[in-house]
Amino acid sequence: MDATFLMNSLWVMLSAVLVIFMLGGFILLEAGSTRMKNAGHIAGKTIFTFGLASLVFWAIGYAFIFGGNGNFFVGLTDFFYSGEQAEGAALSTPVFFLFQLAFAGISITIALGGFAERAKLSVYLFFTILFSALVYPVIAHWIWGGGWLAEHGKQDFAGSTVVHLTGAMAAFAATILLKPRIGKYNKDGSANNIQGHNQVYTALGVLILWIGWFGFNAGSTVSVDNGFFGFVALNTNLAAGAGAVAALIISWMVLGKSDVPTMLNGALAGLVAITASCAFVDTWAAVVIGFIAGILVFYSARFFEKRKIDDPIFALSVHGVAGVWGTLSTGFFATPELATVGLPGLFYGGGFTQLGVQLMGVVSSGAYAFVVSFVLLAIAKKLLSGLRVTEEEEVMGLDISEHGSYGYPEVFASKEQNVGS
């Protein structure tokens, strides 16, 4: 067997494992950022939605993205992918399939963040199937599968638009239709801070995501040639660090305290932002991109809260706003030497052409993800007699109302016993 083929396959398989392991990060992040009465539900639904999304991706998603006889909208072969090795490929095709499947799983996980603490379990199931079939694969084909945005030279190396903005816009549609959680807003319109139950879980979740991002970005080289994945990993790490520092500084300056959740969101925003540009920009630019993302995540979270958009895990700010900024950033910072897709950015003599392509990609992809997700959820609302659990069930918590068991049985079961005695 060719040594390069084997090394490429091993590298991408390792990266796929890292990306799938990011689900563990999302479980800790979302559970820690919300109340303990919903923790078991969050952990369980994250696992079963990944399983469901995997089956849909195998049956339909991979074909829509990378299938042959494709048009500007979707591909049209390789439904129910058989595991067949593509002739002449530089790595194992089944490994490439698993790597891409992991990305689809991350995108739906981001989208479901907008459902937190109030959506019915049946809505999770309904939306996971249709998002994985009709939303994510279409946008991925447009940019990565040879669709119309790819023909314009759209730059999105590992998915600031494809994975993060797509998931965030679906979460946005969900937050609008579900409306805020009970107790989030007062009658005068002021917002209450519904604190997460475990900041340590949240921090560990961010650390797992940070590590997993090396598979996300560096793995997207899908090759070991020249060790370029090391450069991509370096840019990824610098942007995350800059995002965390920027968010820490801005929260300290504005709030008078260095807010820990803001700092954690800053690290994630830096990672999301550098995802589009990690292979196209110099290291100094990666620091600038991450730093700006850290500031954006702080102000955008306050912006959404003031407009009564209840986003419990900051999916709109971290994945949406930072995803937009990261996508546009290549239009400013892509260098002539590194821009293997599209053109150099504005600051390197490329003019406004690439920036315009990036903006077109953001608007078209974001609008498609939002509109289709909104329609799907509106249909679900009709078919499932509403998207949201009852007020009594929401107060009780989704662990017991949707699953019949507690994530923290020692805490809640003992309280019930005390009340009953």
DSSP string, 275-303: HHHTTTS-HHHHHHHHHHHHHHHHHHHHH
Put simply, whether the predicted model's pTM sits higher than 0.85 gets the answer yes
Q: Is 335 exposed, middle or buried (0-12, 13-18, 19+ CB in 10 A)?
A: middle
CA-to-CA distance for 247 and 268, rounded, in angstroms? 10
- Return the pLDDT at 411: 78
* Distances, alpha carbon 266 to alpha carbons 259, 297, 325, 399, in Å: 11, 6, 13, 30
Cα dihedral sign, 88-90-94-98: negative
In 3D space, the residue among 280, 273, 284, 283 whose CA is nearest the CA of residue 235 turns out to be 283
3 state SS of 328: helix
**Helices marked H in 57-135:** 62-66, 93-112, 121-130
Domain ranges of the chain: 3-184+193-406
CA distance 392 to 321: 34
- Angstrom distance (rounded) from CA 362 to CA 367: 8
Smallest CA-to-CA distance from 325 within 372, 245, 270 is with 270
On whether the CB atoms of residues 136 and 104 are closer than 8 A, the answer is yes
Q: Which residues contact 349 (CB under 8 A, 6 or more apart)?
A: 336
Chain centroid to CA 131: 13
Two tokens at 164? 């993060």
What is the 8-class DSSP label of residue 224?
A: -
In angstroms and rounded to an integer, the radius of gyration of the C-alpha atoms of the chain is 21
Q: Which residue is it, tokens 């971290």?
A: 318
Residues facing 259 on adjacent strands:
none
Contact present, 239 and 286 (Cβ < 8 Å): yes
Q: How many C-beta atoms surround the C-beta of residue 45 within 10 A?
A: 26
What's the CATH architecture for 3-184+193-406? Orthogonal Bundle (1.10)
Q: Name residue, tokens 């979707």.
A: 74
How far, in Å, CA of 272 to CA of 327, rounded? Answer: 9
Residue type, 94: P
Question: CB–CB of 141/364 below 8 Å?
Answer: no
Cα(372)–Cα(382) distance, integer angstroms: 16
Write the CB contacts of 76 (distance below 8 Å, at least 6 apart in sequence): 63, 67, 68, 69, 70
Instruction: Kindly give the parts of the chain with pLDDT less than 50.
Output: none
The alpha helices in 35-77, defined as continuous H runs, are 39-56, 62-66
